[in-house]
Amino acid sequence: MTESAGAMDKRRERSSLRAWLFLVWLSWQRQARARQMVWIALALLAFATVVVALNTAGGRWTMAYWKFFGRQGPTHQEWLAQSQTVTPLLPPAGKALASAYYAAHSAILKESDFLVFTRGFVFLLFFSFLLPLWSLSFATEAMGGERESQSLIWLLTRPLSRPAIYLAKFVAMLPWCLALNVGGFALLCSVAGRPGPIAFRLFWPAVLWASLTFGALFYLFGAFFRRPAIVAIVYSFFLEVIMGNMPGDLKRFSVGFYARCMMFEAAEQHGLQPENPVIYDPVSGGTALWVLLLSTVLLLAVGMFLFRRIEFEVSD
């Protein structure tokens, strides 16, 4: 009798696991049906790719086009060319010093493309705007789409617990979110010229972990707000764009802050650091990684708990 009960329990566990895996597979297929926010994200990816490619073709990822003496002065490249014209007029010792200085200045300008690309595009546009928007395009639809299509009741009648359903939908959404974020970042870096492969090699872990945290956060919004995309967009612009770039401790509530801390540590040998380290006060890359990982787990745990409570009360 005991062996029979144990065998039944094992069959029941295997049946529940198969049901959970089937729900993951079904939800993954449903995510493939692109909706409005996904089309917007893909359009932004295409637009950003064109912008990066045009800047690369124009050689704009460098400080050579920056003004040397303010807005009215020549660019670094023009100043270097003008200065080199007077080198033959110098004495032999002066020629050697000038040649060494110009060579060093040219090397700095040549290597500046990585910093310009990172600060001007990766920090300013990708992490502050594109990454949150791409994340919410799939994450808010994973559960919010079920509510809009009135299929959430069907899900709750399946022989699975509500936390298991919540987790299954998140697992199904995650590959699409990571493919868009990490794959989109790889595409943008591939058309960025010389600094692109360097940036992708150093920064893809930050993109990956930030995508997980953004995905868990916006998935939570999708489960509990009637208009999750609007709530997520407001969060992205207010916390990630505004507060995430402000001095003080408020930026520590921003996901992008910890991703940037990982990037600062990864690219330290390339000269990447906060403009004012005392004011910015970054944390170590290891600490930032743990914060993002624990935040993802905490958001999932909170979501599973609330989903169980709220849906149980509504169903009654």
- Take residue 41 and report the two structure tokens written for it: 């994200």
The 10s digit of each residue's pLDDT in 176-217 is 999 999 999 999 999 988 888 999 999 999 999 999 999 999
Does this model's pTM top 0.75? yes
Query: Looking at per-residue confidence, does 295 or 251 come out higher?
Result: 295
Name the packing angle between helices 195-224 and 285-315 (round to 10°). 20
**Which residues, 6+ apart, have CB-to-CB distance to 284 below 8 Å?**
261, 265
Tokens of 19: 């049901």
43, two tokens: 């359009």
Domain ranges (residues) in the chain: 22-59+113-315
- 48 backbone dihedrals φ, ψ, rounded to 5°: -65, -35
Closest by alpha carbon to 130, among 203, 44, 252? 44
At a CB cut-off of 8 Å and minimum separation 6, what does 206 contact? Answer: 259, 260, 262, 263, 266
Instruction: Write out the E strands in the chain.
Output: none
**pLDDT 10s digits, 48-58:** 999 999 988 88
Tens digit of each residue's pLDDT (9 = 90 or more) over 89-141: 556 655 555 454 444 444 444 567 788 888 888 888 898 889 998 988 888 87
- Cα gap 284→264, rounded to integer Å: 9
| pLDDT at residue 107 in the model | 46
Confidence (pLDDT) at 101: 46
